[in-house]
A and B are shown apart, each in its own frame.
Chain A
Amino acid sequence: MIAAILSLTVLGAALGIILGVANKFLQVEGNPVVDEILAMMPGSNCGQCGFPGCSGAATAIVDGSAAPTCCPPGGKALATAIAAKLGITVDVSGMSDDGPKIAVVAEELCIGCCRCAKVCPTDAFVGAAKQIHNVLREACTGCSSCIEKCPTEALAMKPVPVTLQHWVMPKPAVA
């Protein structure tokens, strides 16, 4: 009895140590470039790229199976930034990027069904069942996953309105 306990304990401890050492020395490191790209992405895991979340997209972009232009919320700015990081050229002319957009609720059409609120990756919707919903302008990332969920087509993507605080003086015309 004691011999059995002892031998199993010793066996367990020895295998544990081997596993620990192996973990330390034979570890497969994740690609650090993937982590860097991931840090640049919006991080809302909206899934519009067709990958399971931003980390999937980052991996695909790094191994070349996806183009840097695959992230709609990131837009042209993200695509060019990723391309610069990876040292590849990217054609952003095809991207329909007319500046950032956010979801806007047409209040006369909203029936308060809450379906949009359930899919929003950043909880940008306010409102309760049978109450008119609204989108918090600062919280919406423009992923547009809510648009197709709306049964009354009350949701639409609209360009972010330019306010006095956000206005930028245009660049002077080149001499």
Chain B
Amino acid sequence: MGFMNLFKHFLGDDWGVHPDDHKRPAADQPIRKLPVPPRVHLMLSQHVGAPARPVVLVGQKVKKGELIAAAQGNISAPVHASTSGVISAIGEITAPHSSGLPGMAISIDADGEDAWLETEIVADPYGLSAADIATRVAAAGVVGLGGATFPSSVKLNLGRRSSIDTLIVNGSECEPYLSCDDRLMRDRADEIVGGIRLMLISTGAGVAKVGIEDNKPEAIEAMRSAAARFDNIKIMPVPARYPMGSDRQLIVELTGREVPSDARAADVGVIVHNVGTAYAVHQAVCYGRPLVSRLMTLNGGAATTPGNYEVPLGTLVSDLVAFTGGYQGEAARLVMGGPMMGAVLPHARVPVVKGTSGILLLDAGEAAACEPEACIRCGSCVKACPMGLLPLEMSARIRNDELEGAVDLGLSDCIACGCCAYVCPSHIPLVQYFYHAKGELSAQQRATLRTEATKKMALQRQERLEREARERAEAAAKRKAERAAAAAAAEAAAASAAVNTEKQGETA
């Protein structure tokens, strides 16, 4: 595909899909606060990067907001207690992941007081230096709340290192069913704008553009009035279309710049943060409050009271469902996140994490799947693909285990938005093929790295053995020399003693 075609493809009106949004009535309900559940389970890996390292012991008492696991490595985020109580266990629990595999978590038995740790409040948060803001954001464990969960402080620091001129704040929330960002913008617009101001200082960007899909008029209105006093914060409605909330698509829509393949947003002078992240940054810097709860949407045909809830992190999905009135009928499928990109949960006894934007209880009708049939080469997926790829060709190669062929067709540019599988009239699980192929490729990459590491380790062992042999030989030589010297000395002493006795004999 030539450059002009790609250009047209992005600016033209043909990429993406328009699913039924199902956002209302959940979006119109006021925010409700979930009471603290009897026990919370905080996953150590709620972010992209190295898992956090526990710094508490079982039986220890913690306050809400207290650090329980520290970040380790450059790309990592700390975890804080989401309520006050006693650490009851540090161990494995089923992770909120489609695999149903366990992950490490810290469990806290809540004492019901929900008492915050005393924190210092900054007198003038907007007078802090850029580095200071990033440090506070890092300490608060703030990660990208749009779902990518990349540690926010890393992105803020990146902004200062590679000249960023525009901060894009993502309030488009293009996934159907979800409305937590919408609700947050309607009810807490001032705090979001505060967070945007802090992020502008921290990244050094001159202007912030807030992209909000035009199916959220109330949120646009609320954000406009909150940002009216600030010239460098622009509220920009964008057409409602999935996946408008994907960073690459939003950057093109708001700035006209296209992020090249194999490059990051920062390479075109842009950095993207979610509105939820802006709110969390505000809470972290102005009030010293770490990220211990978040707004999430409960929705779907089997939800009794759909709406947006402020949920303490680590709450089990089953506790959330029980509080909101249980299931209406039977839930055929539990999904964490949106219906397009979310993860199917193995069961409801999994904790919510920082990246959980919603819990969907889908009924049988919503979860119905059709049997895949043969590809009719209609090209619908090509038209829908927001990245300008050829999903039908890539999936055909992956089906025949020709991963290299799929990579040549641009598999690494696939954002796994699911548009192709959504539009396919033959119900081919296209995006599932791409998930599989990406996992398989990274496994292959790990295997290659492992082979290289093995060679290095074998070489190092060889060197170690040689060094040890040399050292032993040297030590033996030294001992021999010492023994020889000692023997010589003893001989000399004996000789002189003999001479002495002779002399004595002579004199006697």
* Interface residues, chain A, with chain B CB atoms under 8 Å away: 42-45, 77, 120-124, 138-139, 141, 162-164, 166-172, 174-175
Query: A43-B451, A43-B454, A175-B372 given as contacts; is B461 within 8 A of A168 (CB)?
Result: no
CA distance A37 to B158 in the complex (A): 42
Query: A122-B461, A123-B464, A163-B101 given as contacts; is B439 within 8 A of A168 (CB)?
Result: yes
Query: A175-B374, A175-B428 given as contacts; is B457 within 8 A of A164 (CB)?
Result: no
Pick from A77, A123, A168: contact of B457, CB under 8 Å: A123
Interface string of B432-443 (1 = CB under 8 A from A): 110110011011
CA distance A114 to B120 in the complex (A): 53
Return the chain B residue nearest A121 by Cβ.
B458
Contact call A167/B461, Cβ cutoff below 8 A: no
B373 on the interface (CB 8 Å rule)? yes
Provide 9 A-B residue pairs closer than 8 Å at the C-beta atoms, listed in order of the A residue. Answer: A42-B454, A122-B454, A123-B461, A141-B450, A164-B101, A167-B101, A169-B432, A172-B429, A172-B432
CA distance A171 to B98 in the complex (A): 14
Contact call A139/B439, Cβ cutoff below 8 A: no
Contact call B451/A77, Cβ cutoff below 8 A: no
Output the least CB separation between A162 and chain B (Å).
Answer: 7
Query: A123-B461, A174-B399 given as contacts; is B436 within 8 A of A169 (CB)?
Result: yes
Pick from B103, B436, B450, B458: contact of A164, CB under 8 Å: B103
Residues of chain B in range 48-105 having any CB-CB distance to chain A below 8 Å = 95, 97-99, 101, 103
Output the least CB separation between A165 and chain B (Å).
Answer: 8
> What are the residues of chain A within 8 A of B426 when measuring CB–CB?
175
CA distance A169 to B446 in the complex (A): 16
Nearest first, the 7 closest Cβ-Cβ pairs linking A and B are A168-B439, A43-B455, A122-B457, A175-B372, A172-B429, A169-B435, A167-B99
Contact call A171/B454, Cβ cutoff below 8 A: no
Contact call A141/B99, Cβ cutoff below 8 A: no
* Interface residues, chain B, with chain A CB atoms under 8 Å away: 45, 95, 97-99, 101, 103, 371-374, 398-399, 426, 428-429, 432-433, 435-436, 439-440, 442-443, 446-447, 450-451, 453-455, 457-458, 460-461, 464
Return the chain B residue nearest A141 by Cβ.
B454
CA distance A124 to B458 in the complex (A): 10
Contact call A139/B432, Cβ cutoff below 8 A: no
Query: A164-B103, A169-B435, A172-B372 given as contacts; is B458 within 8 A of A43 (CB)?
Result: yes
CA distance A121 to B460 in the complex (A): 10
> What are the residues of chain A within 8 A of B447 when measuring CB–CB?
77
Output the least CB separation between A97 and chain B (Å).
Answer: 13
> What are the residues of chain B within 8 A of A44 when measuring CB–CB?
454-455, 457-458
A42-B455, A123-B457 provided; 20 other pairs, C-beta below 8 A?
A44-B457, A120-B461, A121-B458, A121-B461, A122-B458, A123-B460, A123-B461, A139-B453, A162-B101, A164-B97, A164-B101, A167-B101, A168-B442, A169-B432, A169-B436, A172-B429, A172-B433, A172-B436, A175-B371, A175-B373
CA distance A171 to B436 in the complex (A): 6
CA distance A138 to B446 in the complex (A): 11
Contact call B443/A168, Cβ cutoff below 8 A: yes
CA distance A66 to B141 in the complex (A): 56
Contact call B45/A164, Cβ cutoff below 8 A: yes
CA distance A43 to B454 in the complex (A): 7
Contact call A166/B443, Cβ cutoff below 8 A: yes
CA distance A174 to B426 in the complex (A): 13
Contact call A45/B457, Cβ cutoff below 8 A: no
Output the least CB separation between B337 and chain A (Å).
Answer: 15
